[in-house]
Amino acid sequence: MSGICWVHIGDLHLDEADDWQGLGRLKTIVAQVNAHLGDADFVFVPGDNANHGTPAQYAWMMDALAPLSLPWRIIPGDHDFEPGDLSHYDAAIPEANRPEVEVIAGHRCLFLDVVSAGAGGPDFRLTMHHRNRLAEELARAKASGQVPLVFMHAYPGDLAADGDLIARQFIEGEVAFVDTGHTHYNELLNDGRVVYGATRSTAQIEEDGGAPGFAIVCVEDRVVSWRFRRLDAPWPHVQIVSPGDVRLITRPTDPYQVPRPGVVEVVARLFGADTPPVARAGESDTPMTQGEDGLWRAAVTLIEGLNVIEVRCGEGYDRIDCLVRGVHAIPKRRLPVAPGEDCHAIGAWPIAGIDGARLGPNKNGCGW
């Protein structure tokens, strides 16, 4: 199974009222992507792109995205729908950049519009068209042996109608990851079957002293890895993509997520690196070697229980807590409860860039 990696640029909220604060940050992100992240598959922009959905705001956005070396994909948010429809959004953005479905790196990516069926504001709903399309494409993914990924502006728990049903569709369709915006803060949810991620806004930030950045999301053999990267962070960027961290286990029988005791392959992605990384498990350091796919690998020995795995390269560093179980030590699983709801937030995870304070307009933040 192939892996996929994308860059998530949080809600832009481009607005002349704040002297185009998000615009300058967007240009800096584009420059960093071009300089260091050429091996990623695409860039995702998750809605609330133009703060008031005006043609001028979209024109500035398109100008800032024009130099981007990677393909980019975009969805609308409630602020894009502020004029009462998406006519300005549709007129500004080429259809190629706003697909409903696209197979990228062997993964079936579903891009959902949760604003057009609502009445504006945070009245998030799926159109009947998108409800039907979702069911069809999840079935196609299953039949084709593809891992489905979903991109939507808000969690299913934020939908005004049928959020529970849609979250259960994600479970039944074996969606590996749902990428969202809307919250303004960094967060990961794991409802026991599907992992959800949200990345802080680019312009309207209350957490972490207002530091802007972007997320790097990878799915490797159904293992999800997610890291937020501040714009002032040093390079290189190191991200362990396999095995999985205990916080993000959704398939406890899958040896990529929960390895068996013994020799386990550690896989990492590096961006902006010019020296080989080193993997560490227990007291042993193991040099990693790069394969033809560009990923770095090392074989380490893990024991049953919780193991710390680290990968270092210069100033770049990543760490996961990896649960290891024997083949017969498989837990019983309860039925899903409150799927797609933010009660399943994993909480603070500093190495991933999550402080857990939920400083945004939907929870503990100010009213933007």
pLDDT at 331: 82
Could you state, in order of their start, the residue ranges of all structural domains in the chain?
Answer: 3-233, 246-324
Residue 67, token pair as written in the block:
């130099």
Mean pLDDT of the chain: 96
pLDDT band at 88 (very low <50, low <70, confident <90, very high): very high
Identify the architecture of domain 3-233 in CATH.
Answer: 4-Layer Sandwich (3.60)
pLDDT at 332: 83
Report DSSP state, residue 345.
Answer: B
pLDDT band at 362 (very low <50, low <70, confident <90, very high): confident
Summarised one tens digit per residue, pLDDT across range 319-330 is 999 999 998 887
Summarised one tens digit per residue, pLDDT across range 121-133 is 899 999 888 999 9
Q: How many CB atoms lie within 10 A of CB 308?
A: 12
- From 75-79, 126-130, 264-268, 337-341, the region with the lowest mean pLDDT: 126-130
Residue carrying the six token digits 């990677």:
70
Same fold, 3-233 and 246-324: no
Summarised one tens digit per residue, pLDDT across range 300-319 is 999 999 999 999 999 999 99
pLDDT band at 151 (very low <50, low <70, confident <90, very high): very high
pLDDT band at 92 (very low <50, low <70, confident <90, very high): very high
Burial 151-175 (b: 16+ CB within 10 A, else e): bbbbbbbbbeeebbebbbbbbebbb
Summarised one tens digit per residue, pLDDT across range 202-250 is 999 999 999 999 999 999 999 999 999 999 999 999 999 999 999 999 9
Distance CA 19, CA 135 (A): 43
Mean pLDDT computed over 49-69: 98
pLDDT at 329: 83
Mean pLDDT computed over 90-107: 98
CA distances from 338 to 153, 186, 226, 279, 363 (A): 19, 21, 23, 37, 18
Residue 1 has pLDDT above 60, yes or no: no
Could you tell me which CATH class the domain 246-324 is placed in? mainly beta
